[in-house]
């Protein structure tokens, strides 16, 4: 029996997520592009900087409507480099950011990207106690793999790093599970390359084999997949999660609903 944990909801073979930092007014234009192609994004915000004119930050009153349908995530209350401040500062940066963002969204904020990519072992050890389940760094892989450690989540690429070429590779080659793109929306205005993200989203949107997901949706789903409980002979599986999950059994897609135990029949054996 060959079991592969490599499928997304409804048996999709690939996933795409977008990740943008800082909460600036250019996000409005970016979200319009994403929405037109039914692509989801995660937006990492500094709640202590809302409305700051020097960085064209969105006002607090604009947040909920602007990011509707996408994930709002933490980025530090005042955008401090976490690895360079005391423990009390780390706690304040994360918890104050969470508290304000949760006040606006009405739900728990469970992920973040690290301001300046600044994180170290001391900070990483604190994050689970602060309710953070994933954290994106600035280093990228250039590939399409799933992270081994969601608190050290490396994306595929920054959007200025061969984005269209990487998109073509993701679409054309067999099993590439995840493409993760990150950046700052103000860079499109500064670099005068809004056409780049327009072309990328037009290319990537509308594919039936791609799951368009937020960072937290991917984190939750993959962690649930990794939490499936198999018998020693791998002839049955129990799904303790609330999520319905998909796996491959001898090359065939198999759904395992939340709370369900299923046995693999003789017909599943190759």
Per-residue pLDDT of 188-236, as tens digits, reads 999 999 999 999 999 999 999 999 999 999 999 999 999 999 999 999 9
pLDDT at position 265 over 90: no
Q: How confident is the model at residue 4 (pLDDT cuts 50, 70, 90)?
A: confident
Q: What is the Rg, in whole angstroms, of the alpha carbon atoms belonging to the chain?
A: 19
pLDDT at position 269, please? 43
Cα 241 to its chain centre, rounded Å, is 19
pLDDT at position 61 over 70: yes
Q: How confident is the model at residue 177 (pLDDT cuts 50, 70, 90)?
A: very high
The whole model's pTM is what? 0.95
Contacts within 8 Å (CB) and 24+ apart, 193-198: 193/160, 194/29, 196/159, 196/160, 196/163, 196/164, 197/30, 197/33, 197/159, 197/163, 198/33
Question: For residue 94, how many C-alpha atoms fall within 13 Å in the half-sphere facing its CB?
Answer: 29
Question: For residue 80, how many C-alpha atoms fall within 13 Å in the half-sphere facing its CB?
Answer: 19
**Torsion over CA: 76, 100, 190, 29 (sign):** positive
Give the three-state DSSP class for 105.
helix
pLDDT at position 173, please? 81
**Residue 204 burial (10 A CB sphere; 0-12, 13-18, 19+):** buried
Percentage of residues in the chain with pLDDT exceeding 90? 91
pLDDT in tens, 155-170: 999 999 999 999 999 9
Average pLDDT, the chain: 95
**Torsion over CA: 45, 51, 28, 22 (sign):** negative
pLDDT at position 17, please? 98
- Hey, where are the domains in the chain? 13-222, 229-268
pLDDT at position 6 over 90: no
Residues 99-124 have a mean pLDDT of 98
**How far lies 255's CA from each of 15, 183, 228, 243, in Å?**
17, 34, 12, 11
pLDDT at position 267, please? 53
Cα 81 from Cα 175, distance rounded (Å): 36
Cα 16 from Cα 45, distance rounded (Å): 21
Residues 9-26 have a mean pLDDT of 97
Helix 163-172 vs helix 194-204: crossing angle, to nearest 10: 10
Q: Is the distance from CB of 63 to CB of 23 less than 8 angstroms?
A: yes
Write out the two tokens for 112.
């973040």
pLDDT at position 21 over 80: yes
Write out the two tokens for 14.
């690939």
Nearest to 23 by CA among 41, 1, 5: 41
Nearest to 24 by CA among 55, 48, 66, 61: 55
Architecture of domain 13-222: Alpha-Beta Barrel (3.20)
Look up tokens 């099993």; give the residue.
175
């Amino acid at each position: 029996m060959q079991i592969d944990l490599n499928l997304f909801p409804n048996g999709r073979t690939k996933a795409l997520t977008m990740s943008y930092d800082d909460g600036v007014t250019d996000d409005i234009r970016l979200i319009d592009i994403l929405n037109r192609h039914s692509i989801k994004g995660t937006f990492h915000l500094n709640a202590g900087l809302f409305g700051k004119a020097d960085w064209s930050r969105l006002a607090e009153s604009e947040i909920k409507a602007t990011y509707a349908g996408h994930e709002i995530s933490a980025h530090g209350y005042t955008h401090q480099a976490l690895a360079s401040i005391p423990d009390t500062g780390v706690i304040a940066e994360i918890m104050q950011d969470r508290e304000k963002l949760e006040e606006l969204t009405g739900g728990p904020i469970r992920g973040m990207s690290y301001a300046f990519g600044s994180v170290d072992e001391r900070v990483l050890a604190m994050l689970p106690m602060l309710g953070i389940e994933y954290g994106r760094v600035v280093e990228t892989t250039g590939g399409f793999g799933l992270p081994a450690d969601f608190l050290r989540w490396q994306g595929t690429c920054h959007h200025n790093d061969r984005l269209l070429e990487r998109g073509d590779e993701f679409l054309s080659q067999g099993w590439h599970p995840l493409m993760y793109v990150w950046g700052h929306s103000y860079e499109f205005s500064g670099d005068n390359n809004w056409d780049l993200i327009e072309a990328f989203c037009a290319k990537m949107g509308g594919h039936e084999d791609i799951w368009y997901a937020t960072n937290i949706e991917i984190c939750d789903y993959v962690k649930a997949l990794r939490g499936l409980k198999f018998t020693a002979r791998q002839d049955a599986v129990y799904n303790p999660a609330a999520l319905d999950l998909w796996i491959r059994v001898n090359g065939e897609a198999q759904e395992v609903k939340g709370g369900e135990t299923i046995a693999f029949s003789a017909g599943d054996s190759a």
